[in-house]
């Protein structure tokens, strides 16, 4: 009797959980107005509840078989939803990064350098830039917090000995009028975009325009590994140009993709929950010895908070944004005065 009860409970739970997934999949991907999506969800919910009721009335085999067939049909439809390169993209993700490598010199097309006045008021600039990887000197990781301490957007910035910095950011490739949804990110709502941008664009828009709180940390990475990581980003950009892919809130987001790239360069990096709770990524990097030595985590976090320095840079005519935000940041040598 107990085993029968346990079996019915497990079957009911499986139907319930799969029905919840199906309802969200229909909401986010079924074409048509809202009432069509709601109607489809209600019908599927009724199908699931009827299945559960029959399971408890000793008619489990036939009921479960019918549900499994229906769910298999839903999965077949789901498999036909493929990522695309051809949508009405938002301006800030409209172009894709491409690169040409000639020895140590990298030529990048479509480097973003927008001048942001607000999220809807900006001057578009897409630039071609050249970088000599022999002059690569630093790697910094920036975390932009917008909703509590556990969730942050991860950006990686590469510094060169001529004072220039280039930042890479894995983002959703949103369409015009779309906004980020962490739930939608589980249901093929967004493609993935890799942006290479000037720090005055991609960091400043977060601190000075969107009101996010940004912390930056100097990463301990030898020049050879830093170069390999830079090239790995270019490889990811090339892959996205050749074949688009869906962003996934859990498995293919701004932090997990960075980890996958870094693991190719530094084998043996341990998997950790803080790669998913991205706001705690600095603590993970600290624990694996990846941040500036000689400081505790509290000092690194305090010295790495660039928000106020970024805001102040706007009020200082002629200020070098990248240098200004790094003033007092552990691991960064003060810029020599000419």
Confidence of residue 60 (pLDDT cuts 50, 70, 90): confident
In a domain, 169, yes or no: yes
Same domain, 99 and 75: no
Same domain, 112 and 231: yes
In a domain, 336, yes or no: no
What's residue 338's pLDDT? 42
Cα–Cα distance for residue pair 302/300, rounded to 1 Å = 6
pTM, 2 dp: 0.89
Confidence of residue 265 (pLDDT cuts 50, 70, 90): low
Is the pLDDT assigned to residue 35 strictly greater than 80? yes
Whole domain around residue 265: which residue ranges? 91-325
The angle at the Cα of 17, spanning 14 to 20, to the nearest 5 degrees, equals 145
Same domain, 46 and 144: no
Is the pLDDT assigned to residue 58 strictly greater than 80? no
| One-character DSSP codes across 239-269 | HHHHS--B-BTTTBSHHHHHHHHHHHHSTTP
Same domain, 159 and 225: yes
Same domain, 11 and 155: no
In a domain, 311, yes or no: yes
Higher pLDDT, 22 or 59: 22
Same domain, 109 and 174: yes
Same domain, 243 and 184: yes
What's residue 334's pLDDT? 67
What's residue 335's pLDDT? 61
Confidence of residue 323 (pLDDT cuts 50, 70, 90): very high
Same domain, 168 and 264: yes
In a domain, 332, yes or no: no
Same domain, 29 and 70: yes
The tokens for 187 are 């249901």
In the beta sheet, which residues pair with residue 143?
A: 154, 215
What's residue 252's pLDDT? 74
What's residue 6's pLDDT? 85
In a domain, 333, yes or no: no
What's residue 337's pLDDT? 44
The pairing of strands 191-197 and 213-218 is unpaired
Same domain, 31 and 95: no
pLDDT in tens, 138-168: 999 999 998 888 888 999 999 999 999 999 9
Same domain, 234 and 310: yes
DSSP classification of residue 274 = G
Tell which of 79, 110, 125 closes a domain: 79
Is the pLDDT assigned to residue 313 strictly greater than 90? yes
Confidence of residue 23 (pLDDT cuts 50, 70, 90): very high
In a domain, 284, yes or no: yes
The tokens for 2 are 């107990």
In a domain, 86, yes or no: no
Tell which of 79, 105, 128 closes a domain: 79
Mean pLDDT, all residues of the chain? 91
Rounded mean pLDDT, 160-181: 93
pLDDT above 90 coverage of the chain, percent:
71
| CA distances (Å), origin 80, targets 29, 30, 250 | 11, 12, 21
What secondary structure, in 3-state letters, does 152-184 show?
Answer: EEEEEEEEECCCCEEEEEEEEECECCCCCCCCH
Higher pLDDT, 5 or 192: 192
Helix-strand-coil percent breakdown of the chain, rounded to 5? 45, 20, 35
Contact, 130 vs 105, CB < 8 A? Answer: yes
Rounded mean pLDDT, 12-18: 94
The pairing of strands 213-218 and 136-145 is antiparallel
pLDDT in tens, 69-124: 999 999 999 999 999 999 999 999 999 999 999 999 999 999 999 999 999 999 99
pLDDT above 70 coverage of the chain, percent:
97
Same domain, 95 and 73: no
pLDDT in tens, 206-233: 999 999 999 999 999 889 989 999 999 9
Cα–Cα distance for residue pair 63/58, rounded to 1 Å = 10
Is the pLDDT assigned to residue 336 strictly greater than 60? no
In a domain, 149, yes or no: yes
Report the number of distinct structural domains present in the chain: 2
Tell which of 30, 49, 79 closes a domain: 79
């Amino acid at each position: 009797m107990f085993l029968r009860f346990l079996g019915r409970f497990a079957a009911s739970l499986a139907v319930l959980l799969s029905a919840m997934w199906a309802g969200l999949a229909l909401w986010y991907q079924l074409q048509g107005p809202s009432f069509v999506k709601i109607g489809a969800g209600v019908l599927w919910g009724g199908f699931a509840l009827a299945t559960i009721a029959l399971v408890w009335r000793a008619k489990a085999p036939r009921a479960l078989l019918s549900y499994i067939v229906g769910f298999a049909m839903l999965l077949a439809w789901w498999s036909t939803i493929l990522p695309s390169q051809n949508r009405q993209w938002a301006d800030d993700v409209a172009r894709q990064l491409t690169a040409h490598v000639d020895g140590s010199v990298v030529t990048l097309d479509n480097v973003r350098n927008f001048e942001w006045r607000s999220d809807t008021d900006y001057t578009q600039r897409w630039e071609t830039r050249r970088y000599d990887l022999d002059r690569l000197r630093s790697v910094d990781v920036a975390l932009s917090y917008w909703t509590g301490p556990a969730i942050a957007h991860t950006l990686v910035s590469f510094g060169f000995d001529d004072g220039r910095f280039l930042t890479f950011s894995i983002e959703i490739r949103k369409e015009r009028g779309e906004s980020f949804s962490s739930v939608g990110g589980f249901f093929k709502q967004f493609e993935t975009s890799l942006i290479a941008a000037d720090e005055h664009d991609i960091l400043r828009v977060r601190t000075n325009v969107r009101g996010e709180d940004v912390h930056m940390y100097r990463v301990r990475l030898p020049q050879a590994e830093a170069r390999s990581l830079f090239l790995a980003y270019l490889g990811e950009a090339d892959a996205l140009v050749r074949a688009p892919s869906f962003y996934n809130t859990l498995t293919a987001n701004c932090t997990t993709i960075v980890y996958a790239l870094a693991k190719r360069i530094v084998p043996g990096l341990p998997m950790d929950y803080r790669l998913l709770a991205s706001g705690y990524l600095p603590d993970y990097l600290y624990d694996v010895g990846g941040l500036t030595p000689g400081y505790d985590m509290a000092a690194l976090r305090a010295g790495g908070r660039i928000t106020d320095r970024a805001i102040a840079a706007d009020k200082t005519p002629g200020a070098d944004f990248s240098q200004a935000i790094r003033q007092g940041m552990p691991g960064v040598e003060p810029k020599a005065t000419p």
